[in-house]
Structure 1
């Protein structure tokens, strides 16, 4: 009975956080209010820059004026829609893989939402076991790159993306 209670509890509620993880979470929460405006501001500038770049097919970010979700995002998130978004690179799968490899400031990791800028190409990592149709249905098609824009200087982030796009689409 005891094991059953633990197993069901873990299944329904998740694992209990370890003390060090809890400590790091609390430390991060203390500065979250200071960091989020910078995340939102940087992400919007990067998304706007990418949207104007001919090497980019599409940017999916609710903060953009061109987004069909802009009005809803403004109503629900008046302080900004966050730092996470996707874009589609011209050149498909190979270009997306090259882009991720060419980035210097963005860390290539599966976790997203750090103070640092992060990038992932889901079709070659977290969603690689899926068929292309399944990847597309999940919003992780071969040409899709996901960014989590951090709090670094936005001009540096844009310069890094520019040089990586040049490498990826050459």
Structure 2
């Protein structure tokens, strides 16, 4: 049986405006909201997302979500069916955490497939406040998407907030 790979698409814009089956949140381990993409998703999605995140913390994620893991909640008022929350690693000059960053993408894609999602939108995980270099982050994201973008996924969308991020992902996509 032949595997069908999803198409990889780059978009410059706001991830909270993407009409897809799944929006991926670059969450912090608390799952209770924060700054950047995480804060934007919680604000636009409304209280239903936070309520489910609190339920997750009260049950199996009492100590928070570990780096590289992924968990799903409702999308609330977002134009999506689900939000997958994943915790990216903080960049380190002295420790290679690339496998943890790849795990964020891989685990999110696996969870999306179990949900029957056909479309998924990712931010550039860990490349904001967590300091991951955008070029390397783009390479890891694209490589992982190419390797794990199986059916039923039809489209893996990377939504990049600014031009330097878009250009880095474009370079990664064409190599």
For normalisation by structure 2, the TM-score amounts to 0.28
Structure with bigger gyration radius: 1
Structure with greater strand share of residues: 2
Structure number with greater CO (CA < 8 Å, separation at least 6) is: 2
Structure with greater helix share of residues: 1
